[in-house]
């Protein structure tokens, strides 16, 4: 009796592992579809540090304004979360990722991304 129960439990467990191995997990954060990189600059071309870049994961720009992020969604958001600490308040921006297929992964380099200061945006 115990042998039959254990056999059925192991069979169920093996089936579950096979499903995950073949079809992946149901949560995108465990399986990023894109590897996104870029450099965030102001309207003068100067890098902006400490901006939050997010999709399903989050990172911040370094001192050169660069970021690298695994993303499962086709859009990333760049946002100034520290206010004037990095030289001014910048408008948030959402960017749709352009896909480039490379060796089984979608790798996207967005290049330089310009963010406008909030006062520049109001002047236009």
Q: What is the CATH number of the domain that holds 101?
A: 2.60.40.1120
The mean of the pLDDT values for the chain is 77
For residue 122, the model assigns a pLDDT of 52
Q: Are residues 54 and 100 in the same domain?
A: yes
Give 51-83 pLDDT, tens digit per residue: 999 988 899 999 999 999 988 777 899 999 877
List the structure tokens of 61.
């720009």
State the alpha helices, DSSP H only, in the chain.
2-23, 118-123
Concatenated DSSP letters of 108-124: EEEEEEE--BHHHHHH-
Which residues does 94 contact at the CB level (< 8 Å), separation at least 6? 75, 76, 77, 78
Structural domain harbouring 52: 32-123
pLDDT digits (tens, 9 = 90+) for 99-119: 655 555 677 888 999 999 887
How much is the pTM?
0.66
């Amino acid at each position: 009796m115990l042998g039959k129960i254990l056999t059925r439990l192991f069979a169920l467990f093996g089936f579950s592992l096979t499903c995950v191995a073949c079809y992946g997990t149901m949560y995108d954060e465990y399986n990023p579809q894109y590897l996104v990189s870029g450099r965030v600059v102001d309207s003068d071309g100067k890098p902006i540090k400490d901006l939050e870049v997010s999709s399903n994961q989050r990172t911040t720009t370094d001192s050169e304004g660069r970021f690298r992020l695994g993303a499962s969604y086709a859009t990333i958001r760049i946002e100034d979360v520290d206010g004037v600490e990095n030289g001014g308040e910048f408008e948030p921006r959402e960017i749709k990722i352009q896909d480039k297929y490379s060796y089984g992964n979608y790798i996207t380099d967005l290049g330089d991304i310009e963010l406008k200061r909030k006062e520049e945006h109001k002047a236009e």
